[in-house]
């Protein structure tokens, strides 16, 4: 599914307050080598799902764009001077079930922030979280328009799936601070107003795992931090 980078990263940008000496962290995530073959989702088990799409829908486990950049990669601060818990934003994050896929495929939020999970399909879904640090849940949403609101107290990245439609999956990233982002369709991300200092920045991708880069973030302007994942 194609979404603008600003939408994919928005949850991580909305509540960052300015600091006296802070800069923006920007970068691009690239895939090295030939992109993996796109895998179509088999939705013929539910005619409602089939009717929602005019053409094939592909798995988002690995999304490599035509220029080799990667979408749906979480970028976050792993080590540095800003790891203390920050107050959560009032704005809710959103995870929608539309066309029998989760939108977005990767959503991030802060500890204590509300996440609305909405069924936008005229068919039964159930939302089954596989969280380990936070309480797991498995709740049915049998009708279009049904929603649930949840929040999480501990940082982790975990999978959400639908038992009714086994091809449906999404990932939720929970962080103690607002210094995170998700790469968009152009493979880029921005973390704004990160206080100056030395950091370990981590990239996470659901199939290829994590990468780390150590760098100094400048007190003004832009610091660059690019990642790459080797093809298997």
Tally Cβ neighbours within 10 Å of residue 37.
8
| pLDDT recorded at residue 82 | 80
Rounded Cα–Cα distance for residues 144 and 93 (Å): 19
Cβ atoms 93, 114 nearer than 8 A: yes
Strand partners, 32: 230
54 contact partners, CB below 8 Å, separation of at least 6 = none
Residues of the chain with pLDDT under 50: 2-17
| pLDDT recorded at residue 194 | 94
**pTM, full prediction:** 0.89
| pLDDT recorded at residue 16 | 41
Rounded Cα–Cα distance for residues 29 and 40 (Å): 24
| pLDDT recorded at residue 19 | 54
| pLDDT recorded at residue 182 | 98
Structure tokens at 87: 């107050």
Cβ atoms 87, 14 nearer than 8 A: no
| pLDDT recorded at residue 6 | 36
Q: Which of 113, 97, 91 is nearest to 170 (CA)?
A: 97
Domains of the chain plus CATH, in order, are 5-230 (2.60.40.420)
Q: For the segment 78-107, what is each residue's pLDDT rounded down to a tens digit?
A: 999 887 778 999 999 999 999 999 999 999
Measured on CA atoms in the order 174, 176, 177, 179, is the torsion positive or negative? negative
| pLDDT recorded at residue 17 | 45
Cβ atoms 13, 180 nearer than 8 A: no
Q: Which of 204, 210, 209 is nearest to 182 (CA)?
A: 204
| pLDDT recorded at residue 172 | 98
Structure tokens at 122: 């005229």
């Amino acid at each position: 599914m194609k979404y603008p980078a600003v939408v994919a990263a928005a949850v991580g940008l909305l509540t960052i307050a300015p600091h006296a000496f802070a800069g923006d962290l920007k970068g691009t995530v690239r895939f090295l080598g030939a992109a993996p073959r796109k895998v179509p989702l088999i939705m013929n088990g539910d005619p409602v799902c089939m009717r929602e799409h005019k053409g094939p829908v592909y798995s988002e486990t690995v999304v490599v764009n035509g220029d080799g950049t990667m979408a749906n990669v979480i970028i976050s601060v792993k080590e540095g001077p800003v790891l203390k818990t920050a107050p959560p934003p009032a704005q809710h994050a959103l995870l929608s079930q539309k066309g029998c896929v989760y939108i977005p495929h990767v959503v991030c939020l802060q500890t204590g922030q509300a996440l609305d999970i909405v069924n936008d399909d005229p068919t039964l879904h159930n939302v089954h979280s596989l969280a380990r640090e936070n309480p797991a849940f498995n709740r049915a949403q049998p009708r279009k328009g049904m929603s649930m609101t949840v929040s999480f107290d501990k940082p982790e990245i975990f999978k959400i799936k639908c038992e009714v439609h086994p091809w449906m999956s999404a990932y939720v990233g929970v962080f103690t601070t607002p210094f995170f982002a998700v790469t968009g369709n152009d493979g880029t991300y921005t973390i704004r107003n990160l206080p100056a200092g030395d950091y370990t920045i981590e990239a996470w991708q659901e199939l290829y795992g994590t990468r780390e880069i150590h760098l100094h973030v400048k007190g003004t302007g832009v610091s660059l931090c690019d990642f790459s994942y080797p093809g298997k």
